[in-house]
Amino acid sequence: MTAGRPPGRAAGRPLRLTKMHGLGNNYLFLDGLSGPVPPDQELPALARAVSDRNFGIGSDGLILVLPPREAGAQFRMRIFNADGSEGEMCGNGIRCLARLVYDRGYTRAEEFTVETGAGPIRPRLHLENGEVVAVTVDMGVPRLERGAIPMAGPAGERAVEVPLEVEAAGERRTFTVTALSMGNPHCVVFVDDVAAVDLARLGPAFEHHPAFPQRVNTHFTQVLSPQRVRVRVWERGSGPTLACGTGACAVAVAGAVTGRTGRRVTVELPGGALDIRWDEDGHVYMTGPAAYIADVTYDPR
Ligand SMILES: N[C@@H](CCC[C@H](N)C(=O)O)C(=O)O
């Protein structure tokens, strides 16, 4: 962090943030439905400052809960990674947002539409005795054609299994990858043993590979059975995380299109498991938990 006071106020007031997680993928939520939000140009620096594990609160990023701009949506979500870059969508984050807006009484509906950078996304709450115990999200339709994620190569061609030469720590190796969009860009790499992957070395090499000019989220995936996979994640803008919801969907789609899995899989991540179903209607449905960690006041002085 640079010297000087980090951003951390809106309309002169300290920021009230709520820290939540989906399988350990943790975000700070700024409720723009109950108070002011800092101006757009301050948001990347704010995300970096609050996400910092030493000088800030510590998180994988910052999520804004906002009123919708488009007809048909009830809420709007913006997600900033820990490095301040803005992502189009966040699967774990949207489950948390869905629980938060319900618990705060902003809706009594159990299913609603959230406007995101990846288009309208529909979460459905699972309630037990009035408490949100899980959320199923209609994550939309995956896009496999090459142009869907800015990846070098002829647009329109399906990037089902393509070779990718990666250089990490002076070593070159060719991986077979499946690149696809869940609204945000993903690269799925099937490996024999996910525990043997040197994530700290390979993650950044994939994220900054010239084939992905907008960078990429990478998922090293071991197939345990046609219904179960184990994944380690390197997220664009946040590095290693305990789970990635959009990534788990990308993994399930990549497993199905390459014939490694069926269309319904349990995705085991370091932080827990997500249930992913790629329906006949073409939509991917993700089911998983959303949990609170703390309410905090961010007031750097
Ligand atoms: N953790 C998220 C994805 C967050 C955004 C991602 N790092 C990107 O930049 O695309 C998830 O659960 O989907």
Question: CATH no. for residue 47?
Answer: 3.10.310.10
> What DSSP element (H or E) covers 162?
strand 162-168
Same structural domain for residues 19 and 85? yes
The reply to whether 187 belongs to the active site is: no
Residue 49 lies in a domain: yes
Q: State which residues of the chain have pLDDT below 50.
A: 1-3
Q: What is the pLDDT of residue 2?
A: 43
Among 62, 89, 149, 208, the mutation site with the greatest number of ligand 1 atoms within 8 A of its Cβ is 89
> In this predicted structure, what is the pLDDT of residue 119?
97
Residue 263 located in a structural domain? yes
Give bridge partners of residue 165 from the DSSP assignment: 174
Q: How many domains does the chain have?
A: 2
Instruction: Return the residue whose CA atom lies nearest to atom 2 of ligand 1.
Output: 90
Specify the pTM: 0.95
Amino acid 98 reads A
Of all atoms in ligand 1, which is nearest to the CA of residue 60?
1
Amino acid found at 45: A
Q: Is residue 193 part of a domain?
A: yes
Residue 165's domain comprises 146-282
Task: State whether 126 and 47 are in the same domain.
Answer: yes
Q: What is the pLDDT of residue 196?
A: 97
Is the domain of 196 the same as that of 260?
yes
Q: List the catalytic residue out of 96, 187, 244, 249.
A: 244
Question: Residues 81, 150: one domain?
Answer: no
Using a 6 Å CB cutoff, which residues line ligand 1?
25, 79, 81, 87, 90-93, 184, 217, 235-238, 241, 244-247
The answer as to whether 251 is a domain residue is: yes
Q: What angle do CA 217, 262, 264 make, to 5 degrees?
A: 70
Predicted pLDDT at 7: 76
- Same domain for 150 and 133? no
Residue 90 annotated to the active site = yes
What's the pLDDT score for residue 1? 41
Cα of 62 to ligand 1 centre, how many Å?
11
Give the pLDDT confidence score for residue 141 in this predicted structure: 96
The answer to whether residues 113 and 165 belong to one domain is no
Based on the fold, state whether residues 37 and 65 are members of the same structural domain.
Answer: yes
pLDDT at 87: 98
Asked whether residue 201 falls in the same domain as residue 114, the answer is no
4 domain residue, yes or no:
no
Query: Is the domain of 266 the same as that of 211?
Result: yes
Binding residues for substrate: 25, 81, 91-92, 184, 217, 235-236, 245-246
In a domain, residue 3? The reply is no
Q: How far is the CA of 89 from the centre of ligand 1 (A)?
A: 6
Residue 267, in any domain of the structure:
yes
Residue 186 Cα: closest atom of ligand 1:
10
Same-domain pairing of 127 and 96:
yes
18: left (phi over 0), alpha (psi -120 to 50) or beta: beta
103 plus 205 within the same structural domain:
no
Domain contains 2 = no
Predicted ipTM beyond 0.95: yes
C-alpha distance from residue 69 to each of 41, 83, 86, 156 (Å): 19, 26, 18, 31
Q: Cα of 126 to ligand 1 centre, how many Å?
A: 23
Nearest Cα to Cα of residue 180 among 216, 153, 214: 216
What is the 12 CA–ligand 1 centroid distance (Å)? Answer: 30
Is residue 278 located within the same domain as residue 293?
A: no
Q: What are the tokens at 278?
A: 């790629």
